[in-house]
Amino acid sequence: MNIELDSQDRQLLELMQQDASLSVADLADKVAISKSACWRRIQKFEESGVIRQRVTLLNPAKLGLGLTVFVTIRTNQHNAAWAEKFNSVVQSVEGVLEVYRLGGQIDYLLKAVVPDMPGYDRLYQKLIDADLFDVTASFVMEEIKATTVLPIRSSKPRNRD
């Protein structure tokens, strides 16, 4: 179920996406609502699942994780037992950040960060425990755009009665 947002909801969520460390008082001032109203809206977003979690984004290169890799996987096993094993493997492999099941020629897309090429090889060795048919890796040479900010301004505004 989608939640309907008014302009203050949108503004509040945009501010929180850009800087989750802003206090309720700062957010309320910027959105021009009271602190209690601001807090109620934030609680509503958390309870409804609009806000999944609040995190701190780290710079992987500064932490020795300088190689980002996208891994495409095709499988010839389309059954529940294999999917369960695959899910278990990717959940357990450190460095795998995102996993998507796709429609089309590729079955899965993974995003991972590793220190270097030997680090990717270690990750690959763990992935093949899932009995994969075809694995292809693409290595990021330059990050051109990376954001976690969702485009909520383009969602439909809520009409308040």
Tell me which residue of 67, 63, 110 sits closest to 87, measured CA to CA: 110
**Tokens representing 86?**
């695959």
Q: Which domains does the chain have, with CATH numbers?
A: 7-56 (1.10.10.10), 61-139 (3.30.70.920)
- What global pTM score does this model have? 0.84
Torsion of CA 15, 151, 51, 140, to 10 degrees: -100
pLDDT in tens, the chain (161 residues): 688 899 999 999 999 999 999 999 999 999 999 999 999 999 999 999 999 999 999 999 999 999 999 999 998 888 899 999 999 999 999 999 999 999 999 999 999 999 999 999 999 999 988 888 899 999 999 999 999 999 987 666 554 44
**Tokens representing 53?**
């979690």
For residue 9, give the amino acid letter.
D
Tell me which residue of 10, 47, 53 sits closest to 30, measured CA to CA: 10
**Beta bridge partners of residue 74, listed in sequence order:** 134
Q: What is the CA radius of gyration of the chain?
A: 20
Tell me which residue of 95, 104, 94 sits closest to 72, measured CA to CA: 104
| 117 Cβ neighbours under 8 A, 6+ residues apart | 67
